[in-house]
A and B are shown apart, each in its own frame.
Chain A
Amino acid sequence: SQQGEEDPQALSIQEGENATMNCSYKTSINNLQWYRQNSGRGLVHLILIRSNEREKHSGRLRVTLDTSKKSSSLLITASRAADTASYFCATDDNQGGKLIFGQGTELSVKP
């Protein structure tokens, strides 16, 4: 079974609004990563947060991690139409081997 699961599965917002996506996982991790996938393309790394970090920022992205709840959230502020994509969280097996992806959140930002 998959380690990470995203919520919601789909999200539609207007340009300028904020978008929040959540990820839950099952076992202990070394770090958690977020990726973006534009339609028909490979995945692109967005941000990595380590298990001893609680919050991390990168441009308009803000990621939080709550290891006690085994959950993470990705916030995109002031969204743009170009942010339309699928977003995936990925967690490791804490042994440097497997990196497991969730099912993703499909974000649509309408101009």
Chain B
Amino acid sequence: NAGVTQTPKFQVLKTGQSMTLQCAQDMNHEYMSWYRQDPGMGLRLIHYSVGAGITDQGEVPNGYNVSRSTTEDFPLRLLSAAPSQTSVYFCASSRGDSYNEQFFGPGTRLTVL
């Protein structure tokens, strides 16, 4: 199994551009989530999904959209990138719900100029 994969690994955007961060898992996990990690702030939850067709907001959802059309994929869309969205983004998945061990992807390092 590949586990949780994220693409791209690195991305540089200009302010106002849009893009999609990809996340996929091959473990048939119901629960998937997106976090951003900034220095001194730990990980902050952006959006999460408890199954295909179901998404909900986390702590810092503004400026981001998600959808969950399949169990495997959970893309994160930046609608109009801002410098404040410069961060490292992690996708995670688990069986069931948030009560269980989370498997993390390797991260996407995003810089917005």
Binding site for B on A (CB under 8 A): 2, 30-31, 33, 35, 41-45, 48, 88, 90, 92-93, 96-104
Which one of A30, A42, A90, A92 lies within 8 Å of B90 (CB-CB)?
A42
Interface members, chain B 68-110 (any A CB < 8 Å): 90, 92, 96-107
Binary interface profile of B, 30-46, with partner A (CB < 8 Å = 1, else 0)? 00010100001111110
Across the interface, B102 reaches (CB within 8 A) one of A2, A99, A103, A104, namely A99
Interface residues on chain B, number (Cβ under 8 Å): 28
- Residues of chain A within 8 A (CB-CB) of B107 are 41-42
* A96-B50, A99-B33, A99-B98 known; A42 vs B104 contact (CB < 8 Å): yes
Instruction: Using CB atoms, name the residue of chain A closest to B57.
Output: A98
Task: Please list 13 pairs of residues, one from A and one from B, whose beta carbons are closer than 8 Å in the complex, sorted by A's number.
Answer: A2-B42, A2-B59, A31-B99, A42-B107, A44-B104, A45-B102, A45-B103, A88-B42, A98-B58, A100-B59, A101-B44, A101-B45, A103-B41
